[in-house]
Structure 1
């Protein structure tokens, strides 16, 4: 269980893995998958065969071994890890955007949050943790099957007590009137968010905040025109994340006519040699090097925030 609506329970993973739990099997930073622990089942990968029965009773974070002495780590299904392993039914928001959304929407425990559309539920899971243990997230998707799949995922990750999934065309019908003036925050991920903004404004409490996620700047421009009618403090952000690869390496230095020069050796071992009068003198001590990863996620979308005007 990831989260609990019972405020008496601490939101932690100190307890041990049990039958039926969802765990994130970590092979390496770019290869993880979610597995439901089932007595009598096994998981096979390039490291060997892992028995689920060996996992039961171990704490989250444990290193477990296969029949070939290969190993994986069993991690708790946090919202961050779930975002990396969930099934993509739609384009999803990733950690950089999600963390910014939660902060800028000022979401804290006890908040009531409205979301449209649900999609793959990546953001919804993080919203649920942010409002726990006494808040609630009401999320809507117009697609019945997507909504049903999202409910199943929220049950797997244990946030179902904090999330209610509804099937509704928010662009065409707006949010249900049951939430008039009750929402602390509203999040929109829609093709035409400007159609839902008037309804979202009615749902928000005074000084409540709205966020709209759009992949195209033309959508942002159209949304801002509508936001100006009801909202103030309108701002748009683009979150670009640059990752670095950090590893230990040895640096060689050589002496030539122009003095000393340094370079990273192409192989683990490099013999001393003379090339055009330049002699490789020695290999320096191991040092930690950091360089940008060759592949990094670029543009995902624009986040537009606005605060509801208080009418005196």
Structure 2
């Protein structure tokens, strides 16, 4: 465990932006990038040239202008935004899965969480905020370079006091013995999670919870079979997220149904139609409409949760 004085440090975005800080430059909802503030550097994009020196001393969330009048927003690198801009070294978990995992693993400030593998660190970043300031996340990846890149990212985002990254083959070796009986929850993102489950059983506190993320249902079935002997309340979920666009547009016409229902037509129009008129009204009024996005994210993976059986 880290020293208490180190673990209690809090990451704050209420202060002003400083030289060396990481900011999320927001152009629009689908175009953001992470930029390290460096006095003397500039950012060039379609909105113009932005001097980093103009950003220093401003609050996170500020709107800043270029020399030609274009603007961007300087946002704090929260876990939600970091998930959208981080470098993909592996496939990552997104917000829908991450929020579900944190809820069902019952993670609160002060928890000790074990994770394997680290990958690109998307989930790890959110886990760190959930356990802060008293808790800690110990994450492991068998790939040494990926682990090193993850450490660098956690330094950039300011969560290195809450996260420890280790290099270890959890499937083959299990979690280190030093964590036996100390973990409140464990998260597995492994191709063969059933190989790690005997180690997970030793690591968890009584009544602790494990979650395994797997893209294929065959992995889920085999992991669930292994879980049955020592775990209870085994459940699997698939999170499918449907996003809607809300924008102003034209409503071409109101259609009167054969039943005579005229729904949302104006009162006078409803009266004329109810008196036997077959006339239909066509309007080009501008209205605010919500409709599903043309591109929707489909299957990402299955989330299998299980609770360690209490000792009788």
What residue is the counterpart of 2:136 in the other structure?
136
In 1, distance between residues paired with 2:183 and 2:254? 66
1:254 Cα deviation from its structure 2 partner: 8.0
Query: SS of the residue aligned with 1:82?
Result: helix
Which runs of structure 2 are paired with 1:97-246 in the superposition (5 Å)? 97-246=97-246
What residue is the counterpart of 2:26 in the other structure?
26
> Mean Cα displacement is larger for which, 244-253 or 112-121?
244-253
After TM superposition, the score normalised by the length of structure 2 is 0.89
Query: Residues 229, 64 of structure 1: CA spacing in aligned structure 2 closer, same or farther, 3 A cutoff?
Result: same
After TM superposition, the score normalised by the length of structure 1 is 0.89
Query: Residues 48, 225 of structure 1: CA spacing in aligned structure 2 closer, same or farther, 3 A cutoff?
Result: same
Contact 2:9 2:133 in 1 (8 A): no
Query: SS of the residue aligned with 2:97?
Result: helix
Query: Residues 6, 223 of structure 1: CA spacing in aligned structure 2 closer, same or farther, 3 A cutoff?
Result: closer
Number of residue-to-residue matches in the alignment: 291
- 1:219-253 residue CA offsets vs partner (Å, 9 max, x unmatched): 00000010011100000000000000100123233
- 1:181-212 residue CA offsets vs partner (Å, 9 max, x unmatched): 00000000000000000001100000000000
In 1, distance between residues paired with 2:173 and 2:283? 73
In 2, distance between residues paired with 1:253 and 1:303? 45
What residue is the counterpart of 2:17 in the other structure?
17
Determine which structure has the larger strand proportion and give its number.
1
Contact 1:5 1:132 in 2 (8 A): no
Q: CA RMSD in A?
A: 2.2
Is 1:283 the equivalent of 2:268? no
In 2, distance between residues paired with 1:187 and 1:281? 56
